[in-house]
Amino acid sequence: MESPTEKTPHVTPEQYLVRSPFLAWRVIGGEVVIISPQERELHTLNEVGTTIWQLADGSRTLRQVAQELSQTYEIAPEEVLPDVLAFAQEMVEKGVAFLSEQPTSEDEIEERGTS
């Protein structure tokens, strides 16, 4: 039997969260709404999730995302980081984002979406 930790990705602060090229998303009323056409699912993010999502462009590590959030919400980065890691893991599990070990450009994201 497979344990839950074997099913889920191991998320680290030095990884990059990248939005999947296989979906559509919009900011509506200050919250991100994600439409996953393959699964026909709709995901709505709260204010903090929306901020993380907008930063998930492949150019920042999760640690850098936590630092930006800490400045925006005036919370210590070490307090924000566990929530950022949990959010990243949830987005990967839902199939709306992926993790990268290095910065990922928009061109690379588009290539990943077409290959």
Distance, in Å, from the CA atom of 98 to the CA atom of 17, rounded to the nearest integer, reads: 6
75 within some domain: yes
Question: What is the average pLDDT across 67-94?
Answer: 95
The answer to whether residues 70 and 95 touch, using CB atoms and an 8 Å cutoff, is no
**5 inside domain:** no
- Say how many domains are in the chain: 1
- Domain with residue 66: its CATH number is 1.10.10.1150
- Residue 98: CB atoms within 10 A of its CB come to 21
pLDDT digit string, tens, across residues 15-43? 999 999 989 999 999 999 999 877 788 99
* pLDDT at residue 110 tops 80: no
Place of tokens 């099913």: 7
Phi, psi (5° rounding) for residue 100?
A: -130, 150
1 occurs within a structural domain: no
Expressed as residue numbers, the domain containing 97 is 18-102
Please indicate, yes or no, if residue 68 is contained in any of the structural domains: yes
Q: Could you tell me the end-to-end alpha-carbon distance of the chain, in angstroms, rounded to an integer?
A: 32
Look at the pTM and tell me if it is higher than 0.85.
no
So what's the pLDDT on residue 24? 92
Sign (positive or negative) of CA dihedral 60, 63, 66, 68: negative
| Residue 18 amino acid letter | V
pLDDT, tens only, 46-66: 999 999 999 999 999 999 999
Lookup: tokens for 5: 């930790």
Confidence (pLDDT) at 111: 62
- Whether residue 62 is contained in a domain is answered as yes
2, part of any domain? no
- If one compares 104 and 107, the residue with the highest pLDDT of the two is 104
- Per-residue pLDDT, 41: 86
